[in-house]
Chain A
Amino acid sequence: MQGKALAAVAAASFLALAACSSEPSGGSTGTGTGTGTGTGTTKITYAFWGNNDESATIKSMIAAFEKANPGVKVEANWIQSDYEQKLQTSIAGGDAPTVAQISNTSLPSFANAFTPVKVDPGVYYSAAVAKAGNVGGTDYAVPFVAKSKVMAINKAAFDSAGVAAPSGSAPISTQDFVSAAKRLTSGSGAKKVYGSAPLWYDGWLIAEGGSYYGPDGQTCTMGNADGIRAAQTVVDSTKPDGFAPNPTDAQGQDMFQWFTDGKVAMLPDFGPWNIAKIAALDTSKFLIVPMPGKGEPMEVDSLGISKSATEAERTAATTFTKFMSTSPDAQNLLATTTSALGVPVIQGSLDTFKAIAPKVNLQAFVDAVTNAVTTPYVKDKVKIESTFSTDLNSRTAIGSGNEDPATVLPELQAQCQKMLDATK
């Protein structure tokens, strides 16, 4: 009797599995089967990263899309940490999200997971934004938010030091920045007031007119005169008589808090995620100005459509990415007084963006997007730059070393070139 029951269970299990596996798979399209949500709707999934506020912003954009496109249901897949690792494994596991947010710096590694898309460069006011989703001449992702960098300054500190505040529209030179930072520095020990927050080497390299690679991405160039000058400035800034806190003093500290407390007078590398915070302050005391020199690298986040998406999902995803990227209904939501994901990429949403903090010159963010330079596609970029960064920090006073950047950088450039050549 028990044996018969067992056999019946086994047979039923086989039948259930057989019946199930005969169902059409990937049925996320219109007929209400599979993962569909009802008759006439297509469900797509959308993976993105961000903190609570940024997630809320994205979800409000999704809601706006669903309102405008009732035939498409977007399932938000908010990945709060280790975004790229989780995206990688989901792709490798055959469970890629229909649409994935991806930064321009990470896109080359993921490009082959995305289906080529059409990007109309005429829609965007910045050439750098229009090219952000392009890898090797093909567009793989649709840009939808720019994260340009500017510099925040404490006007009161400039006034009391008798230093002329930088213009809100034209960037000061890197030499003028250093000169101003030195004059704004005063005191010593725990009461020292710094002219500037710590400089980020990768950012300062661009400000000085340098770059990691040549325009074609075939040569490493960080060891040239611009690169050495950038490294030297960073090193000098954190010396005991320098104008920025050293890495040890800055470790674990909130530089924005130091800035608002008057402990640092200038805050370079100021990203749009700080807009809501500065807008909440007494805006008459603070101003946003362009980054000195030639600016800083800009991150542009784009939307890639999974190669494994079905035809219906791809169509829905194309509608979704187009909406997120080009519709004022979505772009107007990118920044509010409570949270700013970044700068809109279409002209039509810039007035709304600037209106959230009219007194702090948000135009500087827009100018930084307009003037941003694009970086060339480089294979194994992550490995090359990780090795470079580790060695630079280990050997020079940018990190824990004490070697002369003028000696170290040409050597690291040669090492970079060797790694770059090995990828060809």
Chain B
Amino acid sequence: MSDIVQSLEGLLERLHIDVGLRPILSLVILLAAVFAVICAALWGAVRARWISRNTAAFWIFVSPWIVGFLLFTGGPMVYSLVLSFTNWNLIDPAKFIGIANYKEALSDPDLGQAIKVTLTYAVVSVPLQTVLSLAVALLMNVKVRGIHVFRTIWYLPSLVTGVAQAVLFIWVFNPSYGLANGLLRLFGIEGPKWLFDAHWALATVVIMSLWTVGGNMIIYLAGLQDISKDLYEAAELDGANRWRLLWNITIPQVSPVIFFNVVTGLIYAMQTFTQGYVVTHNGGGPADSLLFYVLYLYQNAFSFFRMGYASALAWIFFVMIMVLTALVFRGSAFWVYYESQRPRERRRRVHVG
């Protein structure tokens, strides 16, 4: 493959194409060739009456995604599955070692710590984010003058994420000079060491995660504004108070949105990496208190040169997330309300399995 790319770049050089454009043009030529082959094959299939023109059109339109998936997701996944059965340091050729990596994972104490940290973070942060972002969305759904300004203010922090957010909070939670302990000192309280205390580090990262509730708030806000006003009016005529309206109308109506946010939030929380990486590189997260699963995977792959073991960890992690997501999906039958479903279908969802 690299030979083909190099040759294409050589061809473009002979055509006096600018050096900076050669890699991208090589990729474009390669993709064009792949699509030309796909189109030619489909055209042949239509001519031979194996498939209809509509079917061919479907495959042509869906082929960019399929090619992208196979090249950049499916292919690497299969490759990593193969690697998980090898011992590979990225420098020497990989050696097949069967299921030794998976066996090692079963007795790896650091992996146990990584799972503990990651699950604790996910289990604590996701419900907190859900409740807070829904509460803020309810507040921001009130029709008062200047509400758009408040919505903007709540959403703005979501623009500062990743490394920038982690660095910002390292300063906010600096035990000696940070804003958090500075405020506590005003009340005569000597604050904890936050990210630099093994017992507080994870809790601090959970607090950091609430910084970005504005993103979920927007989604909830859209869901809340989609609820029919007729429902509220009917309930009020029946004498429902605000609590009743929230519990019996708002929450059920917005439950599909909550479900979406919980599922995506759970997967996102399980994949937490940046906070652990940045904080530990700045002297925080003692005693592996911020050893998130993906950080441990990264360490094995790129610090300890154990790509085979890291690949096995990736697949174990994949299965873990699949199981957790499946559990959330299964559990959703008990609390997610879909207006389009009839009562009988809803009962079936709950009792199936």
Contacts and interface: CB of A to CB of B under 8 A. Distances in A.
A251 B305 contact: no
Given A9-B36, A109-B305, A252-B282, 19 more contacts: A6-B40, A7-B40, A9-B40, A10-B36, A10-B37, A10-B40, A13-B29, A16-B11, A16-B29, A17-B30, A25-B7, A35-B10, A85-B302, A88-B90, A92-B307, A110-B91, A393-B287, A394-B287, A399-B286
Interface in B278-306: 282-284, 286-288, 299, 302-306
B171 interface: yes
Contacts of B36: 6, 9-10, 12-13
Contact of B193 (A22, A27, A248): A248
Q: Is the interface of A mostly helix, strand, loop or mixed?
A: helix
A88 B88 CA distance: 12
Interface stretch (B142-150, B174-182, B248-256): B174-182
A113 B91 contact: yes
B4 A21 contact: yes
A331 B39 CA distance: 59
Most buried by A among B175, B284, B304: B304
A255 B306 CA distance: 36
Contacts of B3: 21, 25
B39 A6 contact: yes
Given A13-B37, A21-B7, A248 B196 contact: yes
Interface of A: 3, 6-7, 9-10, 12-14, 16-17, 19-23, 25-27, 33-35, 82, 84-85, 88-89, 91-92, 94-95, 109-110, 112-113, 247-249, 251-252, 380, 382-383, 386, 390, 393-394, 399-401
B33 A91 contact: no
Chain B: interface size category: 35 or more
Contacts, number: 125
Contacts of A27: 6, 10
A12 B171 CA distance: 59
Interface of B: 2-4, 6-11, 29-30, 32-33, 36-37, 39-40, 43, 47, 89-92, 170-171, 174-177, 193, 196-198, 282-284, 286-288, 299, 302-307
Contact of B91 (A7, A34, A109, A401): A109
Q: Is the interface of B mostly helix, strand, loop or mixed?
A: helix
Given A20-B4, A27-B10, A84 B302 contact: yes
A251 B4 contact: no
A251 B176 contact: yes
User: Which 10 A/B pairs are nearest by Cβ-Cβ distance?
Assistant: A394-B287, A20-B7, A13-B33, A10-B40, A400-B286, A23-B7, A10-B36, A92-B90, A85-B302, A25-B3
B176 A94 contact: no
B6 A34 contact: yes
B4 A17 contact: yes
Most buried by B among A3, A12, A248: A248
A352 to B, nearest CB: 35
A20 B8 contact: yes
